[in-house]
Amino acid sequence: MQLFVSLLLAALSFGSPVHIHVQLAGNFGEPRPNHFHGGIDVKTERGVNFGIYSIADGYVSRAIVGEYGFGKALVIAHPNGYSSFYVHLNRFAPQVQAAVERWQYAHHSYNGDVHFRPGEIPVSKGQFVALSGNTGASQGPHLHLEMHQTATGNLMDPLNWLSHIVPDTESPTAYSFKSYPQAGKGVFQNTQESRIYSFGNTRYRAWGKVGFGTWAYDHMDSVYNNY
């Protein structure tokens, strides 16, 4: 019960990074051509310069500027040991923007990774921190949001903290599955070959060690995307 209450309070202490209806264009762990997607993509109504807000109390720890990758990104460290990354931004809030420009002039460089001292730029939950954009390796205007363990940098699913702001009553749809009998150790439907089967009322025969994969899509309310 104590763990459940702690998790519930942790979820309730985090808010939306945008002040528009939250819809996802991509979720955590999606297979991409050369990597797994490291965060969630929040739609910004196909436009830029929407306000981006800190999802919880903390302080700005980094501001990243680059032509590729993240483009412009802001990192906020939170007291619970996690950091939120706001990516593909168009512009930072004035205090951060001014600090970044000073760094750029001092280092004669547009690209940079500007670090701030703990508490140097504190922010509160819901405070304006940036404008959304389409910078870096972005295929269209959106906010890419990541959550990392501050100490290790390990990626976490942002929906562990933000599921309460993302409506999702749609169930996944499974279309087919593939058998993977282990060589010399398993048989499925009288064969050791890997084959694709349809779901239905058919009864299947299996022996030994057999693995399975499935072709399925998840869906979310009010969006056409497959996840």
Short-list 58, 53, 54, CA closest to 78:
58
CATH architecture of 2-165: Distorted Sandwich (2.70)
Cα 149 off chain centre by: 13
Tell which phi-psi region holds residue 69, choosing left (phi > 0), alpha (psi between -120 and 50) or beta.
left
pLDDT per position as a tens digit, 8-17: 445 448 999 9
pLDDT per position as a tens digit, 99-145: 999 999 999 999 999 999 999 999 999 999 999 999 999 999 999 99
Residue 38: per-residue pLDDT: 94
Residue 170: per-residue pLDDT: 85
Going by pLDDT thresholds of 50, 70 and 90, the confidence category of residue 153 is very high
The tokens for 46 are 């196909």
Going by pLDDT thresholds of 50, 70 and 90, the confidence category of residue 82 is very high
Span(s) in the chain for CATH 2.70.70.10: 2-165
CA–CA–CA angle 180, 29, 154 (5° rounding): 115
- pLDDT beyond 60 at 4: no
Residue 194: per-residue pLDDT: 96
Percent of the chain with pLDDT over 70: 94
Going by pLDDT thresholds of 50, 70 and 90, the confidence category of residue 5 is very low
Q: Please, what is the average pLDDT of the chain? A: 92
CA–CA–CA angle 46, 135, 141 (5° rounding): 10
Task: For residues 99 and 107, give the distance between their C-alpha atoms in angstroms, rounded to a whole number.
Answer: 12
User: Quick check: 182 and 114 in contact, CB under 8 A?
Assistant: no
Residue 227: per-residue pLDDT: 66
Residue 43: per-residue pLDDT: 96
pLDDT per position as a tens digit, 188-205: 999 999 999 998 888 999
Entry pTM: 0.84
How many beta carbons lie within 10 A of that of residue 197, not counting itself? 14
